[in-house]
Chain A
């Protein structure tokens, strides 16, 4: 008997008892739905974190005294010596690997004035150089970036975020206009393309000034961050090692002490949420998996009933020459088909339900390929596990006894 015939027989058996088959199917659908919708939803949340944590280019290293994302009450970094412009200049001289080093000075948030209008006093004013935009994954939309000359001569130029443009220059072209911060005038030379927001905070509500200009207005003793671009993504670890070594020398960290600064990459920042999404994943899999277990038990139960009811049929098949293997395969196939059918429907519904979050969180559609493959394989396995006992029971029946069965 070929496989096609076996499958046809299985479908025939399922079709002969439609209520029973559809209820069994429904149980499997719900079980698979639970697993797949939960894992899809977690993937969507994971995606959201990953997207929002991609604050820098993937080949960029951030060096700071305060970790970007802090967990717990550890305050030890509060007493660290600041990173200064001198450290930046020394590192720029000494580093062999680093490309495009930029300093980042953050002032407290300020009010920006233009003509008679002004913003709320919550605009981030920061200083940097010609590499700052690229290192922070910002693109110029209009106008131009700083040049090396602008930085060296500490020119009073400003590059503004998309929010500032909409707040102060509704409609008109900002390039060449003058803005005021703390009574100082700056000429707008560029506008940055919008990056949206992360965790409810706008990423476009800022003004970027040449760090040299900022230092001459606000002084040189700020605690700054450094951003370093590695020659390529593959050399990022080497660049991290070099920067760590050089900074320890520059900052005179004794050999027996740990680093008194944090080195962050996109990878390390993304990793922060791994624990959280890991727990969600686990929860989804456990809860969904247990629902699936319940469904599997249902399949087994109904297969056992089916074997009992079809005792005579089994007897006849055996009497005309079917061996144990044939009978086992017949019933296993039936179980696997129910599981696969239910699995496919459940998967489809689960992916749809999980992606409802996409609409809410505004991220991209997720197709959990791994879960789909695992689902198909898993459903076959469940069909086999919960089908094997009934099939074995059917195959073991004595043909004479079964033919006598009423």
Chain B
């Protein structure tokens, strides 16, 4: 074991010497690998960035939660809206019924939503998403209160004019002042701000989750009416509970709706992982093409390594002959040249990752990219494999060469 490590150490030392003695050639070969690694790593970091952005957006919608709604979520294909349009609307009372009957659900809330403006003195925030929700929403959603509090069940029942503002709305209306306790106007009515939400961020800079205001659903009903678009949110403790519980919810809904066993559901149970599946299907092909195109750069770099290793083997024919003549076996010569090509690739990998770091910083100014430890490890694994794959044939050629012929070579 010790001998093996020593011999690899010796090999690394020798190959560094060989690389150093041919500076221009080594620099060119390494730069080929650097280009390849920068391309692949940067592509992976961008994909990583987009995926993370997507996942954090998903978390914002809640984890282990299902939505009971009139309309199923449609993804591509023909959406047979005429099959759903005559379904009965959801009712706010379903939330309490499901909550009372379900053994799996940990919290159930109802919500309705629309767009409107929020005004504070002379400042107006337009196109704000105004959500009317029940008090249990704080437990079914991923929102967090950064300042103040959420409303209580009593405040909902009494249809009090209280509002919790999203981060962007609070920012736009109050600047640096404390919004809690202030009064704003929504839908022509005065509301007391009782809380401000934690900043939630956005999806790829397109869809902000902070441009919202939350009011009690009974207040919402009072101002805008509650005729359609009500959605019931059911929260479960974990993924396992969700998988079991969704069938229980389906059964409870069928009881509430008094459906005959032969009748189809006249409601939809929508799960977030439908989004996720669609997202994976949509982006998978694009990512595949991206990785393939960038991998071509790495392949080109690898061919450069292979070519130069062949040259190196040819130039050192006599050296190989001597080594074999004094007893070096196939494995030892093979190892010597493999170590050399891996070292070249590894140096390229280190430089490449450093450059990718710069690229990631630049991309993040305009888009998203994330250089994680996994990507770095992956890059090193890839460089090592590249070195082994493209170094093998030249090394094999050197290792199996006939010592007598090699010594005769001039």
Contacts and interface: CB of A to CB of B under 8 A. Distances in A.
Given A31-B296, A38-B293, A287-B39, A120 B310 contact: no
Contact of A27 (B80, B127, B303, B310): B303
A293 interface: yes
Interface string B289-314: 00001101101110110111011000
B contacts with A: majority SS: helix
Interface string A10-42: 000000000110011011001101100010000
B297 A294 contact: yes
Interface stretch (B27-35, B225-233, B321-329): B27-35
Most buried by B among A19, A31, A298, A304: A298
Contacts of A75: 127
Given A20-B311, A120-B82, A298 B304 contact: yes
Contacts of A19: 310
Interface string B57-81: 0000000000000000000110011
A295 B31 CA distance: 11
Nearest to B305: A298
A301 B36 contact: no
Contact-size category for B = 20 to 34
Contacts of A31: 296, 300
A128 interface: no
Contacts of B76: 200
A287 B300 CA distance: 12
Contacts of A73: 127
Contacts of A287: 39, 293-294, 297
Interface string B116-146: 0000000000010000000000000000000
Contacts of B77: 200
B24 interface: yes
Contacts of B306: 23
A300 interface: yes
Nearest to A200: B76
Contact of B300 (A284, A295, A300): A295
A290 interface: yes
A288 interface: yes
Given A24-B307, A294-B297, A297-B304, 10 more contacts: A23-B303, A23-B307, A27-B307, A287-B294, A291-B293, A291-B296, A291-B300, A294-B300, A297-B32, A301-B29
27 contacts: A20-B307, A20-B311, A23-B303, A27-B300, A27-B303, A30-B296, A30-B299, A30-B303, A75-B127, A120-B80, A120-B82, A287-B293, A288-B296, A290-B297, A291-B297, A294-B31, A294-B36, A294-B300, A297-B28, A297-B31, A297-B32, A297-B35, A298-B303, A298-B307, A301-B304, A302-B311, A304-B24
Interface of A: 19-20, 23-24, 26-27, 30-31, 33-34, 38, 73, 75, 120-122, 200, 284, 287-288, 290-291, 293-295, 297-298, 300-302, 304-305
